Amino acid sequence: MAYKGKSGEIKGDQGVSRDIRGHQGISGNIKENQEKSRFLPLMTPINPLYTLIPVIFLCSLGCFNRTRFNNFNWQLDSLKYYTAKSDSILQQQSKEMAQLRTDFYTKSEELAEKIEMLNTRLSESESQLTQINEKLFRGKKTVSDSEDVSAVSPEARIIYESAYLNYVKGNYNDAINGFKSYLKVAPDSPLSDNALYWIGECYYSLGKRQDAVDTFNELLTKYPQSNKRSTALFKIGIIYEEAKELKTARTYFERILKEYPNSPEAALAKERLNK
């Protein structure tokens, strides 16, 4: 009995031991379940939308890059087009410039030839004019001389002829200086009245009308016997007529008819008065 009792106790102890182990097993299960529950969120099935987001992002990124690439291609094509157009314009302008340069050189050569031709003709005219002047001044008494030209010194005649040649060429300022130099060298020579008259003509050609009138009046005062008086009177009348001072102009034209009725200027003055 005692043995049995002990056995029963032993059995009871074994049951307790089994209970303890059962509790330990339960506790272990609980701990295991707790450990599993920690990783449960990670083991939860993934939402399909989460997987689509990267795909959508990658697709949109690809579309964006494609758009940028297309824009880049479009800009590159535009640049090529405008570059080609600029090159075409530059080429056309280069051709036009080359043509203009050719035309300019051609025209320049033609102009140079014409100028050379005119200079040659002018030289010939000057030579002929010089010969005529030599014949006039070295020959017999001319219409414009009031006395024998031989009374004029060779130096003074050279000055006079040079001044007259400048007048013919249109070098009026040089002509004025030349005739004034002549008057200083030979103030009382047979050609002094002529020199004064040509000074007046030079002033008139330069548009210095008052200086011309003063010079012609000086001739009328200094040289009462000059054969240039009727011409000087007519020139003064023309100047006043051009200045719209018709009354004063008529006065000089009438003087010509009165003082020099048989002169060539008298017929011209009569035409002016009959206007």
The answer to whether residues 100 and 92 touch, using CB atoms and an 8 Å cutoff, is no
Backbone angles phi, psi at 262, to 5 degrees: -100, 5
- Three-class SS of residue 208? coil
Q: What is the mean pLDDT of each run of 10 residues along the chain (275 residues)?
A: 46 51 54 55 53 62 64 77 83 82 71 68 59 48 45 85 92 95 90 94 95 96 92 95 94 94 92 88
**Which residue is it, tokens 């240039």?**
228
Distance CA 199, CA 203 (A): 6
**Hey, what are 20's tokens?**
């303890």
pTM over 0.95: no
Give Cα 115 distance to the centre of its chain.
26
Rg of the chain over all Cα atoms, to the nearest angstrom: 63
Distance CA 44, CA 24 (A): 29
Distance CA 163, CA 177 (A): 8
Backbone angles phi, psi at 191, to 5 degrees: -105, 10
